[in-house]
Amino acid sequence: MALAKSETGETVQWAAITGVIATVSVFAIAQGLSYPLLSFILQRQGVSPAVIGLSAAMTPVGFILSSPLIPGLARRFGAGRTALTCAGLSALVLALIGWTQDVYLWFPLRFLVGVVTNPLYVLSEIWVIALAPPSRRGRVMGIYSTIISAGFAAGPLCLLAVGTEGWPPFLVGIFAFLFCGACLAVVVKRLPKVDEAGEKVSVLGFMPLAWLLLSAVVAAAGFEQSVLALLPVYGTHFGIPETRMSALLSTMIAGNIAMQVPLGLLAERLTARLVRFGCVSVTVLGCALLPALIETPLIWPCVFIWGAVSYGIYTMSIIELGERFTGSALVAGNAAFSLMWGVGGILVPPLTGGVMDLIGAAGLPVTLGAICAALAVATIIRRQVV
């Protein structure tokens, strides 16, 4: 086993960490490819945008409903066996989607995609948290967040190479899930037994233990999904071309990818909680500045930083989760993170869109700024109470 010593004398299992991160990065590529692929196919079939949106929502619904089951599955069958089974099932369900090509059958199948991929993602993230030594947890989780974000971004790029018609794009996703399982199989015996330690904790039982962390996950997920869906709509209010808005979204994603390691290093010097508060505060500032900067060249560095700090809220929450919890509580906590990510992604974009319908384009920065400001206030109040 490849081991190294950190500056504090802790053993760092880099081989196991690399194997798990490789697993989740390949998973991210497969997931990032499937969302636009299925939307393109449905669009060619003449399916309405509303139905396409409902179809896409089935996967996060699968995330939400499967999350409470993950701790029990890990205890009963073992985390490694559960994750390996889910990798195989993910490939099988994607193959069924490619075979059916039917919008109505895709509803239950896309729900199953969420159900079977969620444990793979959650357990991989738990292993990275558990393997990262405390003195290096910030940089390790920063690397993890960077690579998984890059994987999701690389998924759509695969479609440029293989197209969106026939079996080739599905085969890329299927083999990606199988390769994901192969990467995991190589290192599974080196992974910590996170499912066996300590008192059993359920997802619902975990929620009162870390309500502020879970609120941060809801805010981060809601922000990301709302901006990806509604920033182009916001730009049309100012007469900004679609190509420029697409470039702004790409710049935002680039900030997300580029800055998670520096934020993780900062968390090692300060604390994850303090850096998270800073990320929330800068996100609120970005919301306040958006109307003034959207038509100026300063919008480019603004959205780059916006992307970095908004996703940094989630990265810092993961780090703090690893600092505060171990064993069964860590498994339940990460499953709760996945559940709350789904909740944020489903609830916040419609809320933001509704406010935009009521007050115009300003509803985007107002709604997202208010959510993040409430999170900042809650953080201050909790700190004072503690």
Q: What is the DSSP letter of 277?
A: H
Contact 62, 113 (CB under 8 A): yes
Predicted local confidence at residue 153, as pLDDT? 78
User: Rounded to an integer, what distance in angstroms lies between the CA atom of residue 307 and that of residue 245?
Assistant: 14
pLDDT score for 370: 96
Q: φ, ψ for residue 113 (rounded to 5)?
A: -55, -45
pLDDT of residue 248: 85
Share of the chain above pLDDT 90, in %: 32
Task: Check residue 385 and give its pLDDT.
Answer: 45
Phi (first) and psi of residue 382, to 5 degrees: -65, -40
Q: Phi and psi (nearest 5°) for 46?
A: 85, 20
- The H-or-E segment that residue 149 falls in is helix 137-162
pLDDT tens for 263-300 read 999 999 999 999 999 999 999 999 999 999 998 999 99
pLDDT above 70: percentage of residues in the chain: 94
Judge whether residue 136 has pLDDT over 50: yes
| Alpha-carbon span 255 to 81, nearest angstrom | 36
Mean pLDDT (whole number) for 222-229: 84
Are 142 and 260 spatial neighbours (Cβ–Cβ below 8 Å)?
A: yes
For residues 218-228, average pLDDT: 88
Q: Is the pLDDT of residue 7 over 90?
A: no
pLDDT, average across residues 218-223:
92
Find, among 170, 142, 187, 160, the residue nearest to 279 by Cα. Answer: 142
In this model, does residue 1 exceed pLDDT 50?
no
- pLDDT tens digit sequence for 58-104: 888 888 899 899 988 888 888 889 999 999 999 999 999 999 988 88
What gap in Å lies between CA 173 and CA 150, rounded to an integer?
16
Q: Which tokens sit at 171? A: 């085969």
Range in 46-50, 94-98, 219-223, 343-347 the model is least confident about: 46-50
Angle between helices 79-100 and 70-77 (to 10 degrees): 120
Helices (H), 238-271: 242-269
pLDDT per position as a tens digit, 141-162: 888 888 888 887 787 778 778 8
HEC sequence for 20-88:
HHHHHHHHHHHHHHHHHHHHHHHHHCCCCHHHHHHHHHHHHHHHHHHHHHHHHHHHHHCHHHHHHHHHH
Helix (H) or strand (E) segment spanning residue 382: helix 363-385
Reduced to 3 states (helix: H, G, I; strand: E, B; else coil), residue 165 is: coil
Given a cut of 70, whether residue 12 has pLDDT beyond it is no
| φ, ψ of residue 368 in degrees (nearest 5) | -65, -40
Model confidence over 46-62: pLDDT tens digits?
A: 877 667 767 877 888 88
Using pLDDT thresholds of 50, 70 and 90, give the confidence band for residue 371. very high
Provide φ and ψ at 8, rounded to 5°: -95, 5
